[in-house]
Amino acid sequence: MRAVKFTFEGSPEFDGFAQGTTWNGLDNVSITPEERERIAKWFEDGGDTDTAELLREHPVEENGLLDLSGGYATQIMPDRSEQISQEMRDALAEISPDWEDSSWGNDACDSFENDALRLKLWCDYVNPEHREIDGARFTVCRMDENGQSEHPALLATEEWSEVVDFLKLQHANVPGFN
């Protein structure tokens, strides 16, 4: 089993372990007794005391975990490390040291900003099914004076090489940049 983040529909993310199987199209996960309490509290706070009670009565298996397969609507969250590779970080650093990782946990995808150029690069999941927002994997936008992305995007593409070419051109067109 591998450690994962998972959700119930409309829930925050919880910690669990992927079993590598599905039930009725849902991911089978196991959880620790400590995580069971966090989840039960979430159900209670939402007014679902029956599910909270059932979860608290759920038996702990010999491995010390609770198996939530076959009855709980769990969905494993994709790993955000899929969004930005080391190759991409290296390419941005080569273009200019002014590119800074601006990723934030509540954003739909990871990002980089270049304050000197007032550009923001959004990097979404490789698999379009994992993307929270429909659109291209890579999007480059101007930033307004508050650092917010302006629309429409300057570039939207699935190809990293197109992003690199575009950003090199942006740097070449600004006096004083290499």
Rounded to whole angstroms, the maximal C-alpha distance in the chain is 67
**pLDDT digits 0-9 by tens, 52-108:** 999 999 999 999 999 998 788 898 887 666 667 778 888 888 988 899 988 876 678
Taking 60 as the threshold, does the pLDDT of residue 177 lie above it? no
Q: Are 18 and 2 in contact (CB under 8 A)?
A: yes
pTM of the entire predicted model: 0.59
pLDDT category at 172 given cuts 50, 70, 90 is confident
Which tokens sit at 43? 């159900």
Q: Are 121 and 138 in contact (CB under 8 A)?
A: yes
